[in-house]
Amino acid sequence: MKIQKKKSVYTFLIMLPLLLLISYCKDDSGQKPIEQEVRIYLIAPEGSSLPGKMIGCNDILVYEEKTVKADRSILEAALTELIAFKSTAKLQNYVKGPGLMLIQVTVAGGIADVYLKGDFDIFGTCDAPRIKEQIYETVNQFTEYKKINFFINDQTLEKYLSVAGAYF
């Protein structure tokens, strides 16, 4: 019985520092996700009476305000919201496609790198410029970044869109 008590005491003494270390490293900052209004930019097709910025193919770039909850960054939350937005009769979202997802956003020295994975649905010559306008206008509201770079499937967004657009 004495040996079992000693083992229990030793086990406790060994586990105590480990538990203290784990609890010290655990993020108990109590920070809740930040909730904020952001603008995501969508496309109103030619002939729409919605106000916005005229872009190529006589489309209108229109923003819609959304309340997002940001676990990491508002930039990441806004892009996630843009990718998830389902097109409506009045507003089209071209930032969509098979397996398209935001992988991560990294920030260093005021420069954000946004990593996407998947593909965009590109069915005509107007789609690549629509995608680019939607993405860049959505991120331009975040003035805390000096520059925002986009990568999709290990290449720049510009290269991806130029290759995809070359087929039309």
Mean pLDDT for back-to-back runs of 10 residues, the chain (168 residues): 57 52 49 90 93 93 96 95 96 97 97 97 94 97 97 96 78
Neighbours of 30 (CB within 10 A): 5
Residue 118 backbone class (left: φ over 0; alpha: ψ -120 to 50; beta: rest): left
* pLDDT recorded at residue 20: 46
Q: What is the pLDDT of residue 28?
A: 46
* The predicted structure's pLDDT at residue 32: 79
What predicted TM-score, i.e. pTM, was given to this entire model? 0.79
Closest C-alpha to 41, from 33, 53, 29 = 53
State the Cα–Cα distance between residues 61 and 53, nearest whole angstrom: 5
